[in-house]
Structure 1
Amino acid sequence: MIFNPAPDYAEMLAREEQENLPEAPTDAPDSPDARIAAFILREHPAAHKEEEPEPQADEESEKSPIPRPEHSDDSLLSESLARIFIKQGRYERAHEIISGLRLKFPKKSAYFADQLRFLQKLIINQRRKEASQSHGDSKN
């Protein structure tokens, strides 16, 4: 099988649109087709074929780096990591992460509190299951 990468879709659409522009109206200027063609040619940016000037780099923008946000929001990453831990059954680690998020983002405290209550129930159930398995193993 030959690898044939798809061309840039936006570029392909622009080229196709450029090729499909109507011809300049040659028949009666008051005919509906002539009006539509004239409108499309007048309003369509590709029909003007004006070259845009190259953007000039400001000396100021080259000297000063882009400022970093003062508050980096890693809550999404941490919350995703907590979800991964939950899927792995590592509820205590997920509980630690979400507890930290609750302290870091007090506006979402109610949301995180619900998650923490649910995780506490999962942790309790997990401990009970482990305890019952260890008691069951010692009887055999």
Structure 2
Amino acid sequence: TRLPYVLNRVNQIVEAHGLRVGNVFHAGDGNLHPNILYDPRVPGEEARVVAAGAEIMRVCAEVGGSISGEHGIGLEKADFMPFIFSAADLEFMRRLKDAFNPGGLCNPGKIFPTKKSCVEVGPVAHRPHAIEEKGLAQRF
């Protein structure tokens, strides 16, 4: 396993960016979730988190790992897909998705960004679910 090496590199990368990390992982399958701690009110700190995250993704890919686990690619990791997939792979995936979703109505922008710079970091505004709006459920 390369987990000890990767964890060491994660700590080095985060320290080089002047940040702190809480490493959570499934040691048995080598799945790690480095949670980089930051304060979005501190100017420039979020940019350092994004830069550190990109370096961590590259290390994971370089040792033969993946950039995602059980949670999938989502929005935040879409730009890192070329670290593990070729341009031909990505084009095939896009064409396959388009074949089943020609109108682009299902999860627009998910997995394959609609723009080149589609990375979302930070808090996401809460949108009430339809059952919340009808008073059938309450968010706590």
Fold shared by both chains (TM-score > 0.5):
no
Instruction: Kindly indicate which of the two structures has a greater share of residues assigned to helix.
Output: 1
Higher relative contact order (CA 8 A, sep 6+): 2
Max radius of gyration: which structure?
1
TM range (shorter): under 0.3
> Which of the two has greater strand per residue?
2
